Structure 1
Amino acid sequence: MLAPLALYTPPALAHLGYPDTTSVTIRRGHPEDMFLGATFGALISRDTGKTWNWICPEAMNYGGWRPETFLWQPDGTLLAATGASLIRSTDGGCTWTVHDYFKSQGLWPIGLASPASNPSRLWVTTSRSTSRNGVYRSDDGGQTFTPVMQSDTLVFTAVKVAPSDSRRIYVSGGTTTRLSLYRSDDEGSTWTEQPFKEFVGPPYPYDLFVLKVSDTDPDRLWVRVSWQGWTYVMESKDGGRTFTSVVHPEGEEHDGLGEYLIGIEVSADGNTLWAATHTRLFRVRAGESRATQLPLPDGNACAQREGDVLYVCGASRLHDWALATTTDEGQTYTALFNLPDTQPPACPAGTPTHDICRPYWPQFAPTIEADPYLPPEETPDAGTPPDGGSPGGDDAGTNIPDAGTTNPRPEEPQPPPKKGCSSASGLVPAACLLVLSTLRRTRRRNPEN
C-alpha cells in the first residue's frame, strides 16, 4: 500500500499537511469558468462547478512556491505571482510557463494586479532581498513589462488597483526597519511614499501587504501587518495615511490574529469584512467592535466575493465540502464541491498537465478519497482548446518528466520550509496521508454528480 503512494506525494506547505483548497478565482466575464488553488496543485471547472479536474503542481512550474492567488483574464490567460516567478497559462491550465522577463533577471514576482476595466494592463511587484526590486507595468496583457519604480534597498510585497479609479495604485513594501505604502494617482507615473506609523519599534512590524481597495472609494483600503507574533488587519479611510485595526476576534484579549492570515474579502458597500485563516473564517460588520468567528467553515478557509455571492473554501474532511457559496454573509452555505468528486486531468495529450499529471492520478486520487479510475484516452484531434491557445503552445515540451521521474525544481529561490507531514519525503508523507485519512469522518459525495 505504501509503495504506490510513494510515487506521488502531494506538496502541502501548510494546512497541517491536509489536502485543502486555498483560493477561488472566477474568470472575468465568464462565470462558468472557475479555478481553485490547492495544497496539491489546482482544480479547474468549465461548467459552473458541476465537474472539477485536477492539475498537478509538477505541471504548473511553481516548484516549492505555491501561489496564494490567481488571476483569470477574459481572454483565458491564467496568471499567478508565486513569490519566485510569474507563471501563466493560455490554454486553460494545460500548459504553464515561467515568464522569462523576471526569470532572466533573477527577480522574484510576489504581487500581481490588473484592473477589470483594462485587463491588458498588469502590475507586478518583486520582493527579493539584496536585489534590485521594483514595480513593473505591462500594457499588452503580460507579454512585455516596463519598470515604473525601482529600489536597491526596498522590497515591494503587493500591489492593488482601485476598482473605481484605475489611476490609483497602492504598493506595500519597505525594509526590515521601515514599512511604507506607496501611492500613485496617475497610473504609476509618480509615487508618494506614506510611512506606516501604526506600530513603533523595536521590535519592528513586518510583512506589510496591501490586501484590498474599496469597490467605490479609492481612499478606502485594507492591509495586513505583523508585529510581535500577531497579525493585524487594518483599514484606512484616508488613502493610506492612517490605519485602524478592525479584526479583534470575539473572546480574545489581543487585538489581532494569532495564526496566519490567508486573506480577506469585503462586501460591495465596504460594511462587512471577512478574514480567513488556515482554520477559521471571521466576520466583522461596520459598527462592531469584535469579529465573529463563523461556525463554518472549520479546519480550512478562504473567501472570494463575486457580486452578492461569497465563495468560501472549506475542509471536506470535516464538513463535506471544499467549496461552498453563501448569500447571507456566512449564515448558511450551499455546497458546490467536495474533494472526493475530483476528476482526473482533462487536458489533451501532448500538454504537460496531461502527460505529467495523468499517470499520477491512480496514486493521488486515494489521498482525497476520489475515484482512482482513469478513463480510456480519447483520440486527440488537430483542433484548438476553447481559449484559442494551441495544446502544445507556450513551450509545452519544456521540463516534462515521465511518470517515473521527479519534476526538476529551480535552484533559486529556495521554497519556504515545510511543516508537518510535508517536511519529509518518500514513504513518510505517504504514511502520514494514511494516518490522516483515518482521522476523517465518513463523507457524502455530491448527489448532483
Structure 2
Amino acid sequence: MRLPLSVLCWLVLASLALRAPPALAHAGLPETSNVTVRRGHPEDLFAGATFGAVVSRDSGKTWRWICPESMLYGGWRPESFLWQANGDLLAATGASLIRSRDGGCTWQAHPFFSSNNLWPSGLEAPPSTPSRLWVTTARASSPNGLFRSDDGGETFTAIDALRSTTHVYSSVKVAPSDTRRIYVSADTPQGLRIFRSDDEGSTWEEIPHPFPEYSVDSRPYDLLVLRVAENDPDHLWARVTAQGWTYLLESKDGGHSFQSILHPPNQEHDGLDEYLVGIEVSADGRTVWAATYTRFFRIREGGPTTLLSLPEGNACADRQGDTLLVCGSTWVHDWALARTRDEGDTFEPLFSLPHILPPACPARTPTQDICRPRWPQFAPSIGADPTLPPEEPVTVEPGTPEPPPKKGGCSSAGGLVPAACLLTLTPLLRSRRRDPESSRR
C-alpha cells in the first residue's frame, strides 16, 4: 500500500522530533559518506554521498552534483573512491567496478567483471605503482578471487592461488612501505581468514581468525582489512562484527593476531553498537580516527579513546598530509565537509549541502544529460537553489572517451525523501542546527 504524501511527511516529521541520530544519518536525509583527493592534484576533491556524489575542481570553492543514476550503481553505493593522478575515478560498488575518465561526467562499468558475473568488493592501487590495481570479488556461491591489473585497469587476470567457489573476499590492502606485502580478508566455510602475501601475490599464507572472544552465541562475520600503516608492513587495522557489535582491531604482527582498540566512553562493551564507516591513520601509525554513522573517535596509542565533539550525526575521514578531511551533517552543525589541521579539535567548514551547484559537464555526457534535468526536483531536498543556470561551454580534457548513447527509463526519485516533504522540513531542520561559530569547535 502506498502512503499519501501528507502521511509520509507526517511520519518523517515525527521521526525528526524523536531525534534518533542513526536514522537521520543514512536512512533518509541527504549526507556525504566518503571523500577522496586526486593523487598529485590537491585542488580536485570528490565526495561520495547518499544522493550520488559531488566534485570540486577548485580546492573546495565550488561543488557540483553528480546524480546516482549517471553513476550506474543504483542501490549499491561505494564505500570509497580512488582518484588516480591521470584523472581516472574508480570504485568497487559491490556489484560492479565503475570508472570515470573525465572527472565524473561519464561512468562505465568495467566489462571484465560484468561479463563474468563478478561482484567487486575491494579495490586497491598503491600510490607508488598506480598502474597496478588489485580487486577482490564477493558474490556468494560464485567463483570469487583476487584480480590484478598492470595497465591501470584496462585488463585483469586472476590470482590462481585465491580462486574459490566457496570463499567470499571482502577487501584487499597493500602495504605502502612494501608493495610486495598484500592482505586479503575472506569469509570461508571454515571461518574468517586473512590471506597474506610477502611476494606480491606469488605465494600466500592463510591465517585463520576464529575470534573465540567474540563467539559466545554466534559466529563473527564481516572481517574487513581496513588499512596498513605507512611505515610498517606488519602494522594493520581491521574490523569484525559479532552479536550486533563492531570491533575495531589492530595487529602489529602481520595479521597473525588482533586486539580490539576502540573502547567508547561510558560503555562497558569494547565494541561499537553501530556501523563503522571507516578509519584514518596518522603517518606514524600511532593515532587512529574512527568514523561511524553518528560519531567520530580519536584513538592515540597508549592513551585514552576520545569521542570528539564534532562531527555528529554523520562522519567519515580522509588524511592528506597533516590535514584531515572530515564528513559532517549539514542538518546538525551546518557543514557537510570540513578540514581539521589539529587532529579533530577544531574544524574549518568547506561546504554545506545548500552550497552544492547543478552539474557542469559537456553536453551528451550522462551526468549532464541525466542529472541536470533532475536538479529542480533534487535541489529542494538539500536546501539549494533549484534554478538551472544557462548551460556553459565546458572544456573536455584530452583523451576523454566518447560518451555512450543516452538511455532512458531511470527513476527520477532516486530513493530520496520527496522534495515537497523536505521543503516542509527545511525550516525545522535549520532550527536544529548549532550557532555557526560553535561548529568550528
TM over 0.5: yes
Contact 2:375 2:388 in 1 (8 A): yes
Q: Structure 1 residue 217 and structure 2 residue 227: aligned?
A: no
Amino acid at match of 1:171: V
Q: Structure 1 residue 400 and structure 2 residue 411: aligned?
A: no
Please state whether the residue corresponding to 2:212 is helix, strand or coil: coil
Contact 2:182 2:198 in 1 (8 A): yes
Contact 2:207 2:255 in 1 (8 A): yes
Q: Structure 1 residue 142 and structure 2 residue 153: aligned?
A: yes
- Alpha-carbon displacement from aligned partner over 1:25-82 (angstroms, at most 9, x marks no partner): 0000000000000000000000000000000000001121011100000100000000
Match of 2:426 in 1: 437
Higher mean alpha-carbon deviation, 437-446 vs 206-215, is at: 437-446
Residues 385/399 of structure 1: CA separation in 2 closer, same or farther (3 Å cut): closer
Q: Structure 1 residue 24 and structure 2 residue 35: aligned?
A: yes
Match of 1:229 in 2: 244
Residues 326/378 of structure 1: CA separation in 2 closer, same or farther (3 Å cut): closer
Instruction: Quote the offset at 1:400 in angstroms.
Output: 2.5
Distance in 2, matches of 1:335 and 1:176, equals 46
Identity over aligned residues, as a percent?
62
Please state whether the residue corresponding to 1:54 is helix, strand or coil: strand
Contact 2:167 2:186 in 1 (8 A): yes
Contact 1:123 1:136 in 2 (8 A): yes
Residues 311/176 of structure 1: CA separation in 2 closer, same or farther (3 Å cut): farther
Match of 1:188 in 2: 201
Amino acid at match of 2:346: T
Distance in 1, matches of 2:333 and 2:24, equals 22
Contact 2:298 2:308 in 1 (8 A): yes
Cα RMSD between the aligned structures?
Answer: 2.5
Amino acid at match of 1:406: C
Q: Structure 1 residue 389 and structure 2 residue 399: aligned?
A: yes
Match of 2:123 in 1: 112
Q: Structure 1 residue 90 and structure 2 residue 62: aligned?
A: no
Please state whether the residue corresponding to 1:367 is helix, strand or coil: helix
- Alpha-carbon displacement from aligned partner over 1:194-232 (angstroms, at most 9, x marks no partner): 111333645111000000000000000000000111000
Distance in 1, matches of 2:77 and 2:405, equals 20
Amino acid at match of 1:433: L
Match of 2:13 in 1: none
Matches within 5 A, 1:51-70: 51-70=62-81
Q: Which of 264, 270, 288 is the aligned partner of 1:255?
A: 270
Match of 1:161 in 2: 174
Q: Structure 1 residue 268 and structure 2 residue 283: aligned?
A: yes
Q: Which of 297, 301, 316 is the aligned partner of 1:282?
A: 297
Please state whether the residue corresponding to 2:369 is helix, strand or coil: helix
Contact 2:187 2:222 in 1 (8 A): no
Match of 2:369 in 1: 355
Amino acid at match of 2:47: L
Amino acid at match of 1:19: P
Match of 2:14 in 1: none
Please state whether the residue corresponding to 2:378 is helix, strand or coil: helix
Matches within 5 A, 1:295-374: 295-374=309-388
Please state whether the residue corresponding to 1:111 is helix, strand or coil: strand
Contact 1:338 1:445 in 2 (8 A): no
Distance in 2, matches of 1:429 and 1:378, equals 29
Distance in 2, matches of 1:232 and 1:293, equals 16
Residues 181/159 of structure 1: CA separation in 2 closer, same or farther (3 Å cut): same
Contact 1:41 1:55 in 2 (8 A): yes
Instruction: Quote the offset at 1:352 in angstroms.
Output: 0.3
Residues 436/279 of structure 1: CA separation in 2 closer, same or farther (3 Å cut): farther
Please state whether the residue corresponding to 1:353 is helix, strand or coil: helix
Match of 1:419 in 2: none
Residues 73/168 of structure 1: CA separation in 2 closer, same or farther (3 Å cut): same
Residues 315/425 of structure 1: CA separation in 2 closer, same or farther (3 Å cut): closer
Amino acid at match of 1:341: H
- Alpha-carbon displacement from aligned partner over 1:161-194 (angstroms, at most 9, x marks no partner): 1010111100000225500100011111111111
- Alpha-carbon displacement from aligned partner over 1:124-164 (angstroms, at most 9, x marks no partner): 00000100100000000000000012111100000001010
Please state whether the residue corresponding to 1:209 is helix, strand or coil: strand
Q: Which of 5, 29, 50 is the aligned partner of 1:39?
A: 50
Instruction: Quote the offset at 1:14 in angstroms.
Output: 6.5
Match of 1:171 in 2: 184
Match of 1:415 in 2: none
Contact 1:110 1:125 in 2 (8 A): yes
Match of 2:259 in 1: 244
Residues 193/425 of structure 1: CA separation in 2 closer, same or farther (3 Å cut): closer
Match of 1:414 in 2: none
Residues 372/161 of structure 1: CA separation in 2 closer, same or farther (3 Å cut): same
Contact 2:376 2:386 in 1 (8 A): yes
Indicate the structure with greater helix content. Answer: 2
Please state whether the residue corresponding to 1:441 is helix, strand or coil: helix
Distance in 1, matches of 2:415 and 2:360, equals 28
Contact 1:340 1:445 in 2 (8 A): no
Please state whether the residue corresponding to 2:163 is helix, strand or coil: strand
Amino acid at match of 2:284: D
